[in-house]
Structure 1
Amino acid sequence: MARRCFFSFHYKHVWKVNQIRSMTNVIGTAAAGFQDASLWEEAKKKGDKAIKDMIDKALLNTSVTVVFVTYGTANRKYINYEIDQSLSRGNGLVAVQIHHLKDQHGQTGSPGAIPSQIKAKGYKAYKYTTKESFAKWIEEAAILAGK
């Protein structure tokens, strides 16, 4: 079953996320409500409330939030906000480590900690492998959330 998902990640890792984002098993993906860096930059100029409003709007009609994990993810202010808002809306959660994927410069990164809210609620974390596995993890998260 196709799921409408919200993708949560540190924007500097958008290249890695884009390798996964367009898969056919995931529709209507939202990346923190931002379609490109210019929208992110504009929202940052308007302040915290504008960014949170964009996140809230992007979460509408989603059933699962995928948190892409790299080094430092667990400490990102807006990622934590996205997770908290996802939980309050009843979304399923899944953490997916992507540090091992290559960026636009051919570099990989270091693994990061899984955000504590994900573990505390009994949701799972995985290291990205294949689109089939990714789709399965999304479906498991939705089922755990009763979606």
Structure 2
Amino acid sequence: MAIKTVFYSFHYERDVNRVQLVRHIRALQGQPMLKSQQWEEVKRRGQRAIVNWIDKEMRYKRAVVVLIGQETAGREWVIYEIEKAWQEKKPLVGVRIHGLSSFGSADRAGANPFDKASGVSGIPVFDPTRTDWWGNIDTKATYANLVNNLEGWVAQAKVRR
């Protein structure tokens, strides 16, 4: 059975525009996207409120898709989400999004966040990034590659045994 409902894990401030592009593909159904004001409201209520929001949104999702940007691996809540998914034996997969356009420009690839998560290993990470003849990231070709492959990549998510 194809995985259709997922929890997207990502660095909100830096990558929200790239994540919106992923969500517009509509191959998968993710948790509701919080607006920046809503996310700030959750954060103001403290760490317990953030944990509760993550736990609630992840509860009935069939997989966790970590959308990896330049700074994703350094985000405390992304690591929490990875470790929680692993502990709960939810399928995990990473997709690099640095090559998608955010306000007209691409980013640099970031570190693999699965390397920073305790006890997590062997998670596949897919990179749709395409470059032109000069080695520059082609954001349109990258997006097209993501559209064509996202559902198949998520189907290859790894579950802790």
Name the Cα RMSD after superposition: 2.0
Q: 1:119 to 1:107 in 2, by over 3 A?
A: farther
Task: String of CA shifts for 1:33-63, please: whole Å, max 9, x gaps.
Answer: x522122100111111111110010101112
Q: Which amino acid aligns with 2:66?
A: V
SS of corresponding position for 1:17: helix
Partner of 1:14: 16
> Which 5+ residue runs of structure 2 have no aligned equivalent?
129-144
Q: Residue 132 of structure 1: CA displacement?
A: 2.9
Query: Any conservation in 2 of the 1:94–1:118 contact (CA below 8 Å)?
Result: no
Q: 1:119 to 1:125 in 2, by over 3 A?
A: farther
Task: String of CA shifts for 1:7-29, please: whole Å, max 9, x gaps.
Answer: 000112111011111333202x0
> How many residue pairs are counted as aligned between the two chains?
140
Q: Distance in 1 between matches of 2:119 and 2:97?
A: 18
Partner of 1:73: 72
Partner of 1:135: 151
Q: Is 1:109 aligned to residue 107 of structure 2? A: yes
> Which 5+ residue runs of structure 1 have no aligned equivalent?
none
Q: Is 1:25 aligned to residue 27 of structure 2? A: yes
Task: String of CA shifts for 1:60-83, please: whole Å, max 9, x gaps.
Answer: 111211111111211110000111
SS of corresponding position for 1:61: coil
Task: String of CA shifts for 1:57-110, please: whole Å, max 9, x gaps.
Answer: 01011121111111121111000011111111211111111111110x212111
Q: Residue 114 of structure 1: CA displacement?
A: 0.8
TM-score, with length taken from structure 1: 0.86
Q: 1:84 to 1:120 in 2, by over 3 A?
A: closer
Partner of 1:125: 125
SS of corresponding position for 2:86: helix
TM-score, with length taken from structure 2: 0.79
Query: Any conservation in 1 of the 2:68–2:110 contact (CA below 8 Å)?
Result: yes
Rg bigger for which structure? Answer: 2
Q: Residue 118 of structure 1: CA displacement?
A: 9.4
Q: Residue 145 of structure 1: CA displacement?
A: 2.3
SS of corresponding position for 2:101: coil
Q: Percent identity?
A: 28
* Runs of 4+ with deviation above 6 angstroms: none
Partner of 2:93: 94
SS of corresponding position for 1:3: coil
Partner of 2:6: 5
Higher strand share goes to which structure?
1
